Amino acid sequence: MKCREIIEVLETLAPRRCACDWDNPGLLAGRMEKEVKKILLTVDADDEAVKHAIAAGADMLISHHPLIFKPVRHVSDEDFIGRRLVSMIQADISYFAMHTNFDAAPGCMADVVAEKIGIAEGEPLEEMGEENGVPYGIGKIGRLIKPVNGMELAGQIKEAFGLPFVTVYGRELYETIPVERAATCPGAGGSEIGEALRKGAQVLITGDISHHQGIDAAAQGMMILDAGHYGLEHVFMDYMEEFLNGHFRGLIQVEKMPVEFPAAVI
Protein backbone atom coordinates (compact mmCIF):
# COMPACT_ATOMS: atom_id res chain seq x y z
CA MET A 1 0.00 0.00 0.00
CA LYS A 2 1.49 3.33 -1.08
CA CYS A 3 1.63 6.27 1.31
CA ARG A 4 -0.32 8.26 -1.25
CA GLU A 5 -3.17 5.73 -1.19
CA ILE A 6 -3.35 5.86 2.62
CA ILE A 7 -3.45 9.65 2.57
CA GLU A 8 -6.34 9.55 0.09
CA VAL A 9 -8.30 7.47 2.61
CA LEU A 10 -7.34 9.74 5.52
CA GLU A 11 -8.51 12.76 3.53
CA THR A 12 -11.98 11.22 3.24
CA LEU A 13 -12.11 10.97 7.04
CA ALA A 14 -10.77 14.42 7.89
CA PRO A 15 -10.44 16.56 4.74
CA ARG A 16 -7.77 19.24 4.85
CA ARG A 17 -10.43 21.82 3.98
CA CYS A 18 -11.85 21.28 7.49
CA ALA A 19 -8.64 22.59 9.08
CA CYS A 20 -8.20 26.07 10.50
CA ASP A 21 -6.38 28.54 8.25
CA TRP A 22 -3.39 28.79 10.60
CA ASP A 23 -2.86 25.03 10.79
CA ASN A 24 -0.37 22.80 8.95
CA PRO A 25 -1.75 19.27 8.55
CA GLY A 26 -0.78 16.83 5.80
CA LEU A 27 2.38 15.04 4.65
CA LEU A 28 5.17 17.00 6.37
CA ALA A 29 8.12 14.73 5.55
CA GLY A 30 8.88 11.67 3.47
CA ARG A 31 7.81 10.08 0.21
CA MET A 32 4.31 9.88 -1.26
CA GLU A 33 5.27 6.68 -3.08
CA LYS A 34 6.68 4.99 0.01
CA GLU A 35 5.41 1.41 0.39
CA VAL A 36 3.71 1.26 3.80
CA LYS A 37 3.34 -1.97 5.72
CA LYS A 38 3.41 -0.55 9.27
CA ILE A 39 2.01 2.66 10.77
CA LEU A 40 2.76 4.14 14.19
CA LEU A 41 0.12 6.44 15.73
CA THR A 42 0.98 9.19 18.21
CA VAL A 43 -0.42 12.43 19.57
CA ASP A 44 2.91 14.25 19.25
CA ALA A 45 5.83 13.52 16.94
CA ASP A 46 8.24 13.91 19.84
CA ASP A 47 11.65 12.29 20.30
CA GLU A 48 10.18 9.15 21.86
CA ALA A 49 7.67 8.66 19.04
CA VAL A 50 10.33 9.10 16.35
CA LYS A 51 12.71 6.70 18.12
CA HIS A 52 9.90 4.19 18.57
CA ALA A 53 8.91 4.45 14.90
CA ILE A 54 12.48 3.74 13.80
CA ALA A 55 13.00 0.89 16.28
CA ALA A 56 9.64 -0.70 15.38
CA GLY A 57 10.34 -0.53 11.65
CA ALA A 58 7.38 1.73 10.94
CA ASP A 59 7.04 3.00 7.39
CA MET A 60 4.68 5.84 8.31
CA LEU A 61 4.17 7.98 11.41
CA ILE A 62 0.78 9.63 11.88
CA SER A 63 0.45 12.26 14.60
CA HIS A 64 -2.33 14.54 15.76
CA HIS A 65 -0.19 17.61 16.40
CA PRO A 66 2.02 18.73 13.48
CA LEU A 67 5.73 18.81 14.18
CA ILE A 68 6.06 21.79 11.80
CA PHE A 69 3.90 24.87 12.39
CA LYS A 70 6.10 27.76 11.33
CA PRO A 71 8.31 28.01 8.22
CA VAL A 72 11.50 25.96 8.62
CA ARG A 73 14.63 27.79 7.45
CA HIS A 74 16.88 24.76 7.68
CA VAL A 75 16.59 21.03 8.37
CA SER A 76 19.59 19.82 10.37
CA ASP A 77 20.33 18.18 13.70
CA GLU A 78 21.03 21.60 15.27
CA ASP A 79 17.51 21.88 16.74
CA PHE A 80 14.90 19.42 17.98
CA ILE A 81 12.53 19.79 15.02
CA GLY A 82 15.28 19.34 12.46
CA ARG A 83 16.73 16.42 14.41
CA ARG A 84 13.40 14.56 14.30
CA LEU A 85 12.88 15.32 10.59
CA VAL A 86 16.39 14.18 9.70
CA SER A 87 15.90 10.96 11.68
CA MET A 88 12.60 10.18 9.92
CA ILE A 89 13.96 10.97 6.47
CA GLN A 90 17.07 8.85 7.08
CA ALA A 91 14.83 5.96 8.14
CA ASP A 92 12.57 6.51 5.10
CA ILE A 93 9.52 7.14 7.29
CA SER A 94 6.71 9.18 5.78
CA TYR A 95 5.28 11.59 8.37
CA PHE A 96 1.64 12.75 8.24
CA ALA A 97 -0.27 15.02 10.65
CA MET A 98 -4.04 15.31 11.20
CA HIS A 99 -4.72 18.29 13.43
CA THR A 100 -7.62 20.76 13.34
CA ASN A 101 -9.07 18.95 10.33
CA PHE A 102 -9.43 15.92 12.63
CA ASP A 103 -10.60 18.14 15.50
CA ALA A 104 -13.41 19.62 13.40
CA ALA A 105 -14.49 17.01 10.83
CA PRO A 106 -17.83 15.27 11.45
CA GLY A 107 -17.43 12.07 13.45
CA CYS A 108 -13.88 12.86 14.55
CA MET A 109 -12.34 14.43 17.67
CA ALA A 110 -15.16 16.72 18.81
CA ASP A 111 -17.81 14.02 18.35
CA VAL A 112 -15.71 11.24 19.89
CA VAL A 113 -14.90 13.28 23.01
CA ALA A 114 -18.47 14.58 23.37
CA GLU A 115 -19.83 11.03 23.23
CA LYS A 116 -17.29 9.85 25.81
CA ILE A 117 -18.28 12.72 28.13
CA GLY A 118 -21.98 12.01 27.64
CA ILE A 119 -23.00 15.07 25.64
CA ALA A 120 -26.09 14.43 23.50
CA GLU A 121 -27.85 16.45 20.79
CA GLY A 122 -24.59 18.29 20.30
CA GLU A 123 -23.75 21.03 17.84
CA PRO A 124 -20.34 22.52 17.01
CA LEU A 125 -19.18 24.96 19.65
CA GLU A 126 -17.59 27.08 16.93
CA GLU A 127 -19.15 26.19 13.60
CA MET A 128 -16.81 26.39 10.61
CA GLY A 129 -18.94 25.06 7.77
CA GLU A 130 -20.72 21.98 6.44
CA GLU A 131 -19.31 18.71 5.14
CA ASN A 132 -21.76 16.60 3.15
CA GLY A 133 -24.60 18.57 4.72
CA VAL A 134 -23.34 18.03 8.29
CA PRO A 135 -22.20 21.09 10.30
CA TYR A 136 -18.62 20.83 11.54
CA GLY A 137 -16.33 22.93 13.68
CA ILE A 138 -14.25 23.22 16.81
CA GLY A 139 -15.64 21.61 19.95
CA LYS A 140 -19.14 20.49 20.83
CA ILE A 141 -21.98 21.73 23.04
CA GLY A 142 -25.18 19.99 24.12
CA ARG A 143 -27.05 18.47 27.02
CA LEU A 144 -25.62 15.89 29.36
CA ILE A 145 -27.41 12.56 29.05
CA LYS A 146 -27.10 12.14 32.81
CA PRO A 147 -26.93 15.48 34.69
CA VAL A 148 -24.64 15.38 37.74
CA ASN A 149 -23.07 18.01 39.96
CA GLY A 150 -19.80 19.57 38.90
CA MET A 151 -17.43 17.53 41.02
CA GLU A 152 -19.13 14.28 40.06
CA LEU A 153 -18.71 15.29 36.42
CA ALA A 154 -15.02 16.03 37.01
CA GLY A 155 -14.61 12.57 38.54
CA GLN A 156 -16.39 10.90 35.64
CA ILE A 157 -14.18 12.67 33.09
CA LYS A 158 -11.04 11.79 35.04
CA GLU A 159 -12.07 8.12 34.98
CA ALA A 160 -13.33 8.06 31.38
CA PHE A 161 -10.10 9.49 29.96
CA GLY A 162 -7.72 7.87 32.47
CA LEU A 163 -6.50 11.26 33.67
CA PRO A 164 -3.99 11.64 36.52
CA PHE A 165 -5.71 14.87 37.57
CA VAL A 166 -8.31 17.47 36.53
CA THR A 167 -8.01 21.18 37.36
CA VAL A 168 -11.35 22.71 38.36
CA TYR A 169 -12.26 26.39 38.27
CA GLY A 170 -15.58 27.49 39.77
CA ARG A 171 -16.22 24.32 41.74
CA GLU A 172 -18.54 26.24 44.06
CA LEU A 173 -20.94 26.95 41.18
CA TYR A 174 -22.16 23.38 40.79
CA GLU A 175 -21.27 21.64 44.05
CA THR A 176 -24.94 20.79 44.62
CA ILE A 177 -26.63 21.92 41.40
CA PRO A 178 -26.58 19.44 38.47
CA VAL A 179 -24.85 20.39 35.25
CA GLU A 180 -27.26 19.95 32.35
CA ARG A 181 -25.58 21.80 29.47
CA ALA A 182 -21.90 21.16 28.77
CA ALA A 183 -19.35 22.15 26.16
CA THR A 184 -16.03 20.61 25.25
CA CYS A 185 -13.06 21.77 23.22
CA PRO A 186 -10.37 19.04 23.20
CA GLY A 187 -6.86 20.46 23.35
CA ALA A 188 -6.41 24.16 24.13
CA GLY A 189 -9.82 25.77 24.60
CA GLY A 190 -9.22 29.14 26.18
CA SER A 191 -10.25 30.91 22.99
CA GLU A 192 -13.63 29.14 23.11
CA ILE A 193 -14.67 30.41 26.56
CA GLY A 194 -16.63 33.32 25.10
CA GLU A 195 -18.45 31.07 22.64
CA ALA A 196 -19.30 28.56 25.38
CA LEU A 197 -20.72 31.36 27.54
CA ARG A 198 -22.74 32.78 24.65
CA LYS A 199 -24.26 29.36 23.97
CA GLY A 200 -25.25 28.80 27.58
CA ALA A 201 -22.74 26.19 28.69
CA GLN A 202 -22.66 25.61 32.43
CA VAL A 203 -19.28 23.89 32.16
CA LEU A 204 -16.48 23.84 29.58
CA ILE A 205 -14.28 20.74 29.46
CA THR A 206 -10.99 21.55 27.76
CA GLY A 207 -7.26 22.07 28.39
CA ASP A 208 -4.50 24.68 28.71
CA ILE A 209 -6.59 27.11 30.75
CA SER A 210 -4.67 29.94 32.38
CA HIS A 211 -5.34 31.24 35.89
CA HIS A 212 -7.14 34.35 34.68
CA GLN A 213 -9.17 32.51 32.05
CA GLY A 214 -10.33 30.07 34.70
CA ILE A 215 -11.32 32.56 37.38
CA ASP A 216 -12.87 34.95 34.84
CA ALA A 217 -15.03 32.16 33.39
CA ALA A 218 -16.15 31.20 36.90
CA ALA A 219 -17.00 34.85 37.63
CA GLN A 220 -19.37 34.71 34.66
CA GLY A 221 -21.08 31.59 35.97
CA MET A 222 -19.32 28.87 33.96
CA MET A 223 -17.29 26.09 35.54
CA ILE A 224 -14.06 25.02 33.82
CA LEU A 225 -12.70 21.48 33.88
CA ASP A 226 -9.12 21.57 32.60
CA ALA A 227 -8.15 18.03 31.58
CA GLY A 228 -4.84 19.12 30.07
CA HIS A 229 -4.06 19.46 26.38
CA TYR A 230 -3.14 15.80 26.01
CA GLY A 231 -5.85 14.62 28.41
CA LEU A 232 -8.78 14.50 25.99
CA GLU A 233 -6.87 14.26 22.72
CA HIS A 234 -5.10 10.96 23.34
CA VAL A 235 -8.33 9.31 22.11
CA PHE A 236 -6.95 10.14 18.64
CA MET A 237 -4.79 7.02 18.77
CA ASP A 238 -7.57 4.57 19.67
CA TYR A 239 -9.91 6.10 17.11
CA MET A 240 -7.36 6.00 14.30
CA GLU A 241 -6.31 2.45 15.14
CA GLU A 242 -9.92 1.30 14.79
CA PHE A 243 -10.42 3.32 11.61
CA LEU A 244 -7.27 2.06 9.89
CA ASN A 245 -7.81 -1.56 10.92
CA GLY A 246 -11.42 -1.39 9.78
CA HIS A 247 -10.55 0.13 6.43
CA PHE A 248 -7.42 -1.80 5.48
CA ARG A 249 -8.39 -5.08 7.19
CA GLY A 250 -4.94 -6.43 8.01
CA LEU A 251 -3.13 -5.12 4.94
CA ILE A 252 -1.26 -2.68 7.19
CA GLN A 253 0.01 -3.26 10.72
CA VAL A 254 -1.04 -0.47 13.08
CA GLU A 255 0.74 0.29 16.36
CA LYS A 256 0.14 3.04 18.94
CA MET A 257 2.40 4.92 21.30
CA PRO A 258 1.50 4.19 24.92
CA VAL A 259 -0.66 6.79 26.66
CA GLU A 260 1.76 8.81 28.77
CA PHE A 261 0.66 12.16 30.19
CA PRO A 262 3.40 14.79 29.77
CA ALA A 263 2.45 16.68 32.95
CA ALA A 264 2.46 15.45 36.53
CA VAL A 265 1.46 16.97 39.86
CA ILE A 266 4.08 16.31 42.55
Task: Show binding-site residues for a divalent metal cation.
Answer: 64-65, 103, 229, 233
CB contact set of 137 (below 8 Å; sequence gap of 6+): 104, 110, 124, 125, 126, 127, 128, 129
Q: Which of 180, 265, 244 is nearest to 40 (CA)?
A: 244
The region that residue 139 occupies, defined by phi over 0 for left and psi between -120 and 50 for alpha, beta otherwise, is left
Distance CA 180, CA 203 (A): 9
Task: Show binding-site residues.
Answer: 64-65, 103, 229, 233
Phi and psi, residue 130, nearest 5°: -130, 145
Residue 63 three-state SS: strand
Bridge partners, 254 (sequence order) = 39
CB 103 within 8 A of CB 138: yes
Instruction: Give start and end residues of each alpha helix (H) in 161-210.
Output: 193-198
Phi and psi, residue 32, nearest 5°: -65, -35
